[in-house]
Structure 1
Amino acid sequence: MSTSTTPLRTRFRTRAAAGLTALIVPLAAMVGLASPAQAAESATASYTKSSDWGTGFEGKWTVKNTGTTTLNGWTVEWDFPAGTSVTSAWDADVTNSGNHWTAKNKSWAGSLAPGASVSFGFNGTGTGSPSGCKLNGGSCDGGSVPGDTPPTAPGTPSASTITDTSVKLSWTASTDDKGVKNYDVLRDGAKVATVTTPSYTDSGLTAGTDYSYSVQARDTADQKGPVSGARAVRTTGGSTDPGPGPGDQVKLGYFTEWGIYGRNYHVKNLDTSGSAGKITHINYSFGNVQGGKCTMGDSFAATDKAYTADQSVDGKADTWDQPLRGNFNQLRKLKAKHPNIKVLWSFGGWTWSGGFTDAVKNPAAFADSCYKLVEDPRWADVFDGIDLDWEYPNACGLSCDTSGPAAFKNMMQAMRAKFGTDNLVTAAITADATAGGKIDAADYAGAAAYSDWYNVMTYDFFGAWAKNGPTAPHSPLTSYPGIPQAGYTSADAIAKLKAKGVPAKKLLLGIGFYGRGWTGVTQKEPGGTATGPAAGTYESGIEDYKVLKTKCPANGTVAGTAYAHCGTDWWSYDTPATIASKMSWAKGQGLGGAFFWEFSGDTANGELVTAINNGLK
């Protein structure tokens, strides 16, 4: 697809990453080879169907060492019925013989200490479920007991009596047909305690630190039910550093290279809308990544398009013989008019992230190619640094990467070494805070040492790729009762990144200047069923805020995000009011600021940019 017609999806998260609630497959009912006790003494394997978008699905296996000694190497085997198969896999080597599938650990994932677990995933086609599961030749023992229903999910924990080093948690009890035995308390996805009552006080915490808590019930047959929603908690005390001071926050927007075509949105619009005076940074998107190098995306849009006087930032037409035209020259003119603005060239995005896998095999050479392109003498004055938008390191987006957890850090380290301290080096990163999810797949904490900040893509958690719903806000700030997937919230993502060691001031909260919607919906509140994606101007299931504010005005709010039910359509999107509350939250978290995707979704007078600017003052 040419960049001139590339849709907004070039920037959006994979539908497989923002899909339906995980479905636990009862594996124990499918096996009868080794005794359950035999496997339970050493390791278990369990399967979840992470998402299903009709024509395919994403599955995930989790191997856990339940023994007392280190597990050195693992192999999971299972059968799929005819018509169901694996099409791509990550974090394991998956092969098949007919309908029999075998997954062996990668070299870096084979050793598991007692209590440790590792996950691998795959995309597949068909509707079947795995059967005949074996782990290292024995029973997987990781699923339900035949004829016995697992316990329900506990309520999302509430937090009270928060001190510098402890927090009291309580939750609504689970139910089970044969009785609930106990609860596992999970902190940032890892079990910290098992209790028999629906409350727990976690102690030994670090002052001024963010944590995320959830709970999982176990019945008398030792079956585990679904994990509860997550509760973000910040302990009191800690550093006296308040984070960015007034006026220091980053206010960054993405400008799309292809927006000058069908959207008819140009650099001049940043000025006439008033937005240029209210932002600090622009990410110009996207450059491509191919052949191990940074390359130009659409050279006509970037450097060649001749602008007439009425289209130009300064009211002067381009001439046929000037050395630089196009968006780059218009950005140069914008910076002359607004000298506070810094511009970064962003590479990758949804469509062009597949090239990172080859590029990071030689990080130094990749960084050198990017530096030479960004610092080309013809436009070196336009750019103040580079942004890397890899969707996603050691995980799957449009394509899957298996470069390992260190690849992202190695890339950022090489970029910093090449670009130096006078240039900005940033990255857009995942907001998947689920246990074993995309945040866990790469060393974002290690890479933060070489990054000025991360654009945390806290949007596209839910959308009409799940064509029948449930309807849900695509950019929830916090969890709420009935959320389709625990861990898919801005608060959970920020808390998890902080807990891993990423400084708060290096995290920017993401805002979408668009909505996601379904049609065939009768229920006003979130959680309704649908028949498919709602109609959109450029793509079904998505629409700009500037259209939605009048086409389908917001009539409700959930998890800090607005939603609207009009006719049979249901949309969720941010408004100036919800952005104001999100900016207040971001400041309270000590974040470095906010960013948004992307300028052309705003109104002609830039009311969403204004809300971000006012909220971060």
Structure 2
Amino acid sequence: MKRSRSLVLGMVTAVAATVGAAWVALPAYAAGPTATFVKASDWGGGWEGRYTITNGGSTAISSWTLAFDLPAGTTVGSYWDALLTSSGQRFTFTNRSWNGSLAPGASATFGFLATGTGSPTNCRVNDAPCGGAVPTTPPATTSAPPVTSAPPTTPPPTTSAPPTTSPPPSSDLPKRLLTGYWHNFDNPAVELRLRDVPAEYDVVAVSFAEATSTPGAVTFAVDPGLSASLGGYTDADFSADVRTLRARGKKVILSVGGETGRVAVNSASSATAFADSAYALIQRYGFDGVDIDLENGLNPTYMAQALRSLRAKVGPSLIIAMAPQTIDMQNPASSYFKLALDIKDILTVVNTQFYNSGAMLGCDQNAAYGQGTVNFIVALACIQLENGLRPDQVGLGLPAGPGAAGGGIVSPSVVNAALDCLAKGTNCGSFRPPRTYPGIRGAMTWSINWDVSNGNNFARTVKPHLATLP
């Protein structure tokens, strides 16, 4: 974001029970981790699978790896809470940085979406059978238990589309979000007191927190130039306005970074400084969370540490948003994308800036799509949606009209068309995503001030359209 005129996201325990002449009484054994699998949902041409790894041993484990085969014609698409590699039809998942350590009796779950009708086979966890070690002594057999009822002849109902995950229960945010940035600086856009933000915005990101001389630490105060332009606007006025917006049911978060921001969290000590200083600002001004908008480099390891520490201080109500540039969300291994995936369990939303980007490859990797089009927005949002982020964690960031960006400015109707394409499969351009994502979270704009300068066209067009999405 710029502060000037131009602005720079097994063992299958759907258990295959067979009733034979003899029933095997299996002994209790679990020398290490085991894994169970369920199909959480099935819509005919695909399904959602979930594995739960449980440490059945007497000592803690520090990591886990689970692998299974899928038959030809069935493959994995989106996945979450694990990392994925594949070779042919063998799919291998490993833990994320935050869910690898399991104490005795503890468990971790990851999930994925698959296309095709097959199910996992040959499951192994930490190179042992997912059901546990094979016993060395054949178990005794007993007569078969009585069968009390016949298995159902009618399969359970299926859904027509992959399930969407509801927004995390850690906050009272609405299902759909319109986010806008509020300028704490003076530029050619209209200057606004915070309380004068139009009612359409659900989340207001205050831009920006500033770096201090302490690495990682951030500070905030009302900009003197803005105060002068508004005829006097103090920190006390701003704090009162935060309370006013919150009383209206809005959320106010503090954005860190921007085009000229120099906040750097590159060590354990700077991560602590970030968390401590951000928490102090939340307490002082009443912010509901933070937005990470670092355009000059980001260390995912230490920023993840900082954000987890901050959430431990604030609690589950903390909003954590991100506003990466388009290039930052092209590859799950890149720093911004890795951060988003590493904190997925506490992340609220990623509002990628789909502008000032030029042409870029989409999730099909077949063509470069030009910015400022439905194809560009959908094909690039698809990268995030197909590589680990839940739909409710993905928002579309676009400029609010003339003056707001150097490129990629679109009519708000184009934003609505992109939302329709992603959520419903309608109003698409020539590119169509591999599936629909009914849980897509919403849209973001840079900025509220530029939107007001352009007649509130973005908010008044996009906000009511969000209510039409499934």
TM-score (norm 2): 0.55
Counterpart residue number, 1:197: none
* Whole-angstrom CA distance in 2 between matches of 1:482 and 1:496: 13
User: Of 55, 75, 78, which residue of structure 2 is paired with 1:205?
Assistant: 75
Establish whether residue 609 from structure 1 lines up as the match of residue 445 from structure 2: no
RMSD: 4.4
User: Of 332, 335, 341, which residue of structure 1 is paired with 2:250?
Assistant: 341
Shift of 1:406: 2.6
SS in 2 for 1:351: coil
Establish whether residue 356 from structure 1 lines up as the match of residue 268 from structure 2: no
1:139-538 paired onto structure 2 within 5 Å: 163-164=45-46, 203-206=73-76, 235=115, 239-241=162-164, 243=166, 248-259=175-186, 261-267=187-193, 270-271=196-197, 276-290=198-212, 291-297=214-220, 299-301=222-224, 324-325=236-237, 327-336=238-247, 339-352=248-261, 354-358=262-266, 361-376=269-284, 379-380=285-286, 383-391=287-295, 397=296, 400=297, 403=299, 405-432=300-327, 433-434=329-330, 438=334, 442-462=338-358, 483=369, 489-514=376-401
Counterpart residue number, 1:12: 8
Structure 1: stretches of 5+ with no match in the other structure: 14-161, 166-200, 211-232, 309-316, 392-396, 463-471, 516-542, 546-569
Structure 2: stretches of 5+ with no match in the other structure: 10-43, 48-70, 81-112, 117-159, 425-436
The structure that is strand-richer by fraction is 1
TM-score (norm 1): 0.43
Identity of aligned residues (%): 15
Shift of 1:447: 1.2
User: Of 417, 427, 449, which residue of structure 2 is paired with 1:600?
Assistant: 449
Counterpart AA for 2:46: D
* Whole-angstrom CA distance in 2 between matches of 1:489 and 1:250: 21
Shift of 1:344: 0.6
* Whole-angstrom CA distance in 1 between matches of 2:407 and 2:290: 34
Counterpart residue number, 2:416: 580
SS in 1 for 2:274: helix
Counterpart AA for 1:385: G
* Whole-angstrom CA distance in 2 between matches of 1:607 and 1:580: 12
SS in 1 for 2:263: helix
Counterpart AA for 2:8: F
- Aligned CA distance change for structure 1 residues 544 and 596 (closer, same or farther; 3 Å): closer
* Whole-angstrom CA distance in 1 between matches of 2:260 and 2:46: 44
- Aligned CA distance change for structure 1 residues 294 and 365 (closer, same or farther; 3 Å): closer
Counterpart residue number, 2:18: none
Shift of 1:351: 1.3
Is the 2:362–2:380 contact (alpha carbons within 8 Å) kept by the matching residues of 1? Answer: no
SS in 2 for 1:252: strand
Is the 1:458–1:475 contact (alpha carbons within 8 Å) kept by the matching residues of 2? Answer: no
- Aligned CA distance change for structure 1 residues 580 and 434 (closer, same or farther; 3 Å): closer
- Deviation per residue, 1:147-192 (Å, 9 max, x gap): xxxxxxxxxxxxxxx9327xxxxxxxxxxxxxxxxxxxxxxxxxxx
Aligned residues: 312
Is the 2:205–2:252 contact (alpha carbons within 8 Å) kept by the matching residues of 1? Answer: yes
Shift of 1:506: 1.4
Counterpart AA for 1:256: H
- Aligned CA distance change for structure 1 residues 436 and 594 (closer, same or farther; 3 Å): closer
* Whole-angstrom CA distance in 2 between matches of 1:333 and 1:483: 42
Shift of 1:607: 1.4
Shift of 1:576: 2.9
